[in-house]
Chain A
Amino acid sequence: EEQVVQSGGGLVQPGESLRLSCVLSGFTSTNFWMSWVRQAPGKGLEWVATLNEDGSAKFYVDSVKGRFTISRDTARNSLYLQMNSLRVEDTAVYYCATVAEGYWGRGTLVTVSS
């Protein structure tokens, strides 16, 4: 059975960094384009970043360009989101997902507050 297990998240102050992780089981990450999607409190789903199957192409929403980095570890079948210079408006539940194929993690809460 395909599963996406997420970890990371928590409470940080503005300007600080955080790394989110997700481990895929039951399928291989290098076969899929992997993404991070977030949902801020009271808002809809917002795409954050995508990595193609071989890691050669990365795409980011404008609001996180230069601050967030998506990456993968093929040996660990894992996907990461390094988030630097966090802002209050980055507060959200972050999901790791293969949007096209429909595999989603349970989400992890990131709260940026002073």
Chain B
Amino acid sequence: AQSVSQHNHHVILSEAASLELGCNYSYGGTVNLFWYVQYPGQHLQLLLKYFSGDPLVKGIKGFEAEFIKSKFSFNLRKPSVQWSDTAEYFCAVNADSNYQLIWGAGTKLIIKP
């Protein structure tokens, strides 16, 4: 069965620190990959997605993610975080032949001002 693993449930960083949130999935075929973000009091929204092409994907607000097929990973990165990046981040995977999204447990990111 497909699964998605996010390595950290809670991450606390200071402003201007670099961020990397891990995401690994288990599925041997073609996948579509997503990072969603939920800011406090707001609904889930798409941060970035990978369908095909350049494995380094750039999203909104300076975030990027790199798809490494050999490692089954899609880690989220940001070189310098801001206090406004405080949110919960979810990785999700959709197998190419399946319209369902499989979700990671989420990572709560807290940025100290």
Are chains A and B native binding partners rather than an unrelated pairing? no
